[in-house]
Amino acid sequence: MITDRRRFLIAAVVMAVRTGRAGARQATTARTLDTKSAITYFVADGTGHAGFRPGDRQLAQWAFEAWERSAGQRFRFEAAAESSAVVRLYWAESNEGQYGEMRPLIVGGRRGAAVYIRPDTDSLGEDIARRARADALLRDSIVYLTCVHELGHALGLTHTSDFRDIMYFFGFGGDIVEFFERYRRQLRSRNDIATAAGVSEADVSRLRAMYSAH
């Protein structure tokens, strides 16, 4: 019999393999976004998608703000209409245990990205689903950190093998539940997410190095 724990690990491996392939492509093609002007962005309304909650758009907004703060004034984000936004965040249906993904875009001649976030934590295996159902802050932490991770890819960051990084690649193993729980322990209320970026010093150093000449 396949246990709930085993199902979660299988789902995590499937997600890791899929994102790993994407990560390999990003490793050879990753480039920074054009920061001569503000990086325009758009966050879609996910109403109707499995697991989506109205407050998830605020979680996405906080993720954009977290990277902007981490950049140390090297770039700024600015909200825009979907048609002109360089970075676009959408909500997607659950699919084989994946958390999210990033797809490159070209918008008006500028490099951009479409980010897809799956907010249905019930699809991520019973270990996470059970905890997320019992703890709304853990559920929000998972959605928020997924936004941060995928936006990191949109900015040009690739996966790492350091469990402390938000850009950590699950294919290297480790306690995936703890990956989210350690962030949850920083929070007393949902509003704390607005100031707890969830990125490591190494994430910040890599980002600033990439955008140092901009």
Q: In this predicted model, what pLDDT tens digit does every residue of 6-56 receive, in sequence order?
A: 433 434 433 443 444 444 334 334 589 999 999 999 999 999 999 999 999
Question: Does the pLDDT at position 90 exceed 80?
Answer: yes
CA 189 – CA 196 distance, rounded (Å)? 11
Average pLDDT over residues 73-101: 92
pLDDT-based confidence at 214, cuts 50/70/90? Answer: low
With tokens 């050879």, the residue in question is 28
Q: Any residues with CB less than 8 A from the CB of 147 and at least 6 apart, and which?
A: 59, 60, 63, 89, 100, 115, 117
Q: In this predicted model, what pLDDT tens digit does every residue of 134-159 receive, in sequence order?
A: 999 999 999 999 999 999 999 999 99
Percent of the chain with pLDDT over 70: 84
- Domain of 199 in residue numbering reads as 4-210
pTM (predicted TM-score): 0.86
Q: Which backbone phi and psi does 102 adopt, to 5 degrees? A: -125, 135
With tokens 């093998």, the residue in question is 161
| Greater model confidence, 78 or 22 | 78
State the pLDDT at residue 45: 97
State the pLDDT at residue 95: 74
**In sequence order, what DSSP letters do the residues of 141-179 get, joined into one string?**
HHHHHHHHHHHHHHTT---BS-TTSTTB-GGG-S-HHHH
- Is 158:23 a contact under the CB 8 Å cutoff? yes
Domain count, the chain: 1
Q: How many CA atoms lie within 13 A of 17 on its CB side?
A: 7
State the pLDDT at residue 185: 98
CA 16 to chain centre: 14
State the pLDDT at residue 96: 54
CA 143 – CA 26 distance, rounded (Å)? 22
State the pLDDT at residue 94: 84
CATH number at residue 169: 3.40.390.10
Residue 12 structure tokens:
């995590």
Count the neighbouring beta carbons within 10 Å of the beta carbon of residue 200. 18
CA 184 to chain centre: 15
State the pLDDT at residue 121: 95
State the pLDDT at residue 97: 57
Q: How many CA atoms lie within 13 A of 178 on its CB side?
A: 5
